[in-house]
Amino acid sequence: MANIFLFSCFVYLILLFANDVEAVNDGIGFYELKKGDFSVKLTNYGATVISVILPDKNGKLDDIVLGFDSIDDYKNDTTYFGAIVGRVANRIGRAQFTLDGTDYKLVPNDGRNMLHGGPKGFSDVIWGVGSHDDHHVTFIYNSVDGEEGFPGDVAVSVTYMLVETNKLAVKMRAMPLNKRTPVNLALHAYWNLGGHNSGDIFSHTIQLLASRITPVDEELIPTGEIVDVKDTPYDFHKPREIGSMFTQLPDGYDINYELDDRNPGHLKKVAVVQESVSGRKLELWTNQPGVQFYTSNMLNNVKGKDGFVYAQYAGICLETQGFPDAVNHPHFPSQIVNPGDIYENIMIYRFTAAH
């Protein structure tokens, strides 16, 4: 009964906005959530986080996410700054998979592979706006059957909400309406706790509550293995500086970690990130099985906010998710969602600043 009720709610949302698609698609809006000195700015283009502003240990306000000043820059962006990516985040090998005996050919956009939903994934569409006030905003999108090669219509929503003190909650939801289909959404925010314009993230200290990774080949497609990180540069079980072992890993980090807490749907702590100069600390929780840790290795002097140029390693991404290429690795946690069932990816960020 619960699923039928949720299904009805999703269908209602889609029908509510279906008659206003043209109006929605003509308008890109900007939304600010604010609670004291903590504020988050967003746009319905790509359901994107534009800025996160909060005080450091001395009360100085800084914007701690990388991004752009102009919406045109977001439209031409290849970095996925702050966007919701999907229908399937991360990579799908050879842009294809088989489901229920049917072979699906997707649209490649990363060599012969698909990355973050294809050339026009969820990061490159205009979402509808379901509701908003000073503390929350909900964006909605109807992904149609065949979009970028994926089967079935899917009703999608993402809610950003400020809760308690300096906490940002993000709830991504999706419901297939008529066909089984893979769903794996992710928020692709780039964080720099010293401020978006403060340089590289080598001195950030990070702890990842994950003991295993899914290794990748030269095209960054998982090999299918799940290996222990102990005594390797990937081991962040004990907090250490991100740059402390870069000499052993010259290309930086871009890898999926399997979280230690494998209880499906259970909300668990993923990571703790700290920056000593500002005193800021980020703690992240999720209900997902994995997190992609990415040190912006592919940034190449991108002109961002206030004219600041983001060089390589200017930010870190912590994308809670299902495992990359899970559609082609049956032993990975499944991303296939049945019609009427609800996919949900929850992220909670807690920010503090030591005095």
Residue listed under structure tokens 């190449």: 300
Q: Cα-flanking dihedrals φ and ψ of residue 11, to 5°?
A: -60, -40
Q: pLDDT tens digits for 240-297?
A: 999 999 989 988 999 999 999 888 778 999 999 999 999 999 999 999 999 999 999 9
Q: Which residues are catalytic?
A: 188, 319
My answer on whether omega of the bond before 87 falls inside 30° of 0, hence cis, is yes
Q: Is 190 annotated as a binding residue?
A: yes
161 burial level (CB within 10 Å; 0-12, 13-18, 19+): middle
What is the predicted pLDDT for the residue at 1? 45
Q: Is 73 annotated as a binding residue?
A: no
**226, amino acid identity:** I
Q: How far apart (Å, rounded) are the C-alpha atoms in residues 163 and 35?
A: 9
CA dihedral 78, 81, 82, 83 (to 10 degrees): -10
Q: Nearest Cα to 329, choosing from 241, 242, 258?
A: 258
Q: Is 19 annotated as a binding residue?
A: no
Q: Which runs of E-coded beta strand occur in 27-135? A: 30-35, 38-43, 48-55, 61-63, 83-85, 91-92, 96-99, 102-105, 114-115, 128-132
Q: How far apart (Å, rounded) are the C-alpha atoms in residues 294 and 139?
A: 26
Query: Cβ contacts of residue 60 below 8 Å, gap of 6+?
Result: 278
Block means of pLDDT (10 residues each) for the chain, length 355 residues? Answer: 48 41 61 97 98 97 97 94 98 98 98 97 96 96 98 98 96 98 98 97 98 97 98 97 92 96 86 97 98 96 96 98 98 97 98 88
Q: Is 90 annotated as a binding residue?
A: yes
Q: How far apart (Å, rounded) are the C-alpha atoms in residues 346 and 275?
A: 24
Q: How far apart (Å, rounded) are the C-alpha atoms in residues 178 and 200?
A: 46
What is the predicted pLDDT for the residue at 186? 98
Q: Is the dihedral of CA 38, 43, 46, 47 positive or negative?
A: positive
Q: Is 254 annotated as a binding residue?
A: yes
Cα 158-162-165 angle, rounded to 5 deg: 150
Q: Is 91 annotated as a binding residue?
A: yes
Q: pLDDT tens digits for 58-70?
A: 999 999 999 999 9
In terms of DSSP bridges, do strands 343-353 and 309-310 run parallel, antiparallel, or are they unpaired? Answer: unpaired
DSSP 234-286: T--SS-EEGGGGGGG-TT--EEEEEES---TT--EEEEEEE-TTT-EEEEEEE
Q: Are 204 and 193 in contact (CB under 8 A)?
A: yes
